[in-house]
Chain A
Amino acid sequence: GAVVSQHPSRVICKSGTSVKIECRSLDFQATTMFWYRQFPKQSLMLMATSNEGSKATYEQGVEKDKFLINHASLTLSTLTVTSAHPEDSSFYICSAEGGTGNTGELFFGEGSRLTVL
């Protein structure tokens, strides 16, 4: 199946700094990628839909100025958490739809655990 790579897998930062998370589709082109946030024992919460070459579409309640998304190419989307605070600590996961056959399945990255001190 298709592979989505996410980096870094873990990051610890100080409050007030910015953190960038990368999501790459390794063997297929992804015109659309999705960014999720997951708290312990809770569901994946869709934050935004990232579209190659255009602005991301954010879900209600997600601050677009705080969570900057850039989808500059068909294989790379980035999520930047700006001016991070402890409440931003979470597990962030990206996904892409596609691969060969377009079966409708989502391919997920391994996730990035963000801890803001």
Chain B
Amino acid sequence: SQKIEQNSEALNIQEGKTATLTCNYTNYSPAYLQWYRQDPGRGPVFLLLIRENEKEKRKERLKVTFDTTLKQSLFHITASQPADSATYLCAVYNFNKFYFGSGTKLNVKP
């Protein structure tokens, strides 16, 4: 099965800086990879999807890269704001299922 690895340690950054979160998968190259935001006690909210034939995808202050050679995706938030503080999950889609990482908690300090 697929194993998704995200840094379990919280990422603390200063407002205005760029946050970079990492997602690594161990086995099969997914058809696509997604990033979600989850706030405490809430369900995840979809942010971005990137397909295996795409190297980069942008949406406003968000940028996702996908390197199938490294089996890694990077998620960037530029000009970060305290409101960006949340847990960010990556998910890969293989064999009609979604596999989630455990998420990385981002703390943006004012």
Q: Given that A43-B89, A49-B97 are known contacts, is A108 also in contact with B102, CB under 8 Å in the complex?
A: no
Q: Does B43 contact A (CB under 8 A)?
A: yes
| Chain B positions 65 through 105: 1 when the CB is less than 8 Å from some CB of chain A, otherwise 0 | 00000000000000000000000010101001111111100
Q: What's the dominant secondary structure at chain B's contact region?
A: strand
Q: Which residue of B lies closest to A44 (CB)?
A: B100
Q: Please determine whether A42 and B102 come into contact, CB atoms closer than 8 angstroms.
A: yes
CA distance A108 to B46 in the complex (A): 9
Q: Does A110 contact B (CB under 8 A)?
A: yes
Q: Does A81 contact B (CB under 8 A)?
A: no
Which B residues are in CB contact (< 8 Å) with A6?
43
Q: What's the dominant secondary structure at chain A's contact region?
A: strand
Q: Please determine whether B41 and A106 come into contact, CB atoms closer than 8 angstroms.
A: no
Q: Does B49 contact A (CB under 8 A)?
A: yes
CB within 8 Å of B: which of A60-117?
91, 93, 95, 103-111, 113
Q: Determine how close the nearest CB of chain B comes to the CB of A57; give it in whole angstroms.
A: 9
Q: Determine how close the nearest CB of chain B comes to the CB of A69; give it in whole angstroms.
A: 15
Q: Choose from A42, A105, A110 the contact partner of B46 (Cβ within 8 Å).
A: A105
Q: Given that A104-B32, A104-B34, A104-B49 are known contacts, is A44 also in contact with B97, CB under 8 Å in the complex?
A: no
> What number of residue pairs across chains A and B have CB atoms under 8 A from each other?
54
Q: Determine how close the nearest CB of chain B comes to the CB of A46; give it in whole angstroms.
A: 6
* Total residues of chain B contacting the partner, CB 8 A: 23
Q: Choose from A34, A44, A49, A105 the contact partner of B34 (Cβ within 8 Å).
A: A105
Q: Choose from A1, A34, A111 the contact partner of B98 (Cβ within 8 Å).
A: A34
Q: Given that A41-B102, A43-B4, A43-B89 are known contacts, is A103 also in contact with B42, CB under 8 Å in the complex?
A: no
Q: Determine how close the nearest CB of chain A comes to the CB of B57; give it in whole angstroms.
A: 12
What 8 additional pairs, Cβ within 8 angstroms, besides A44-B89, A46-B98, A95-B43? Answer: A43-B100, A46-B99, A104-B49, A104-B93, A105-B34, A106-B34, A111-B41, A111-B42
Q: B residues engaging A (CB < 8 A)?
A: 4, 8, 32, 34, 36, 41-46, 49, 89, 91, 93, 96-103
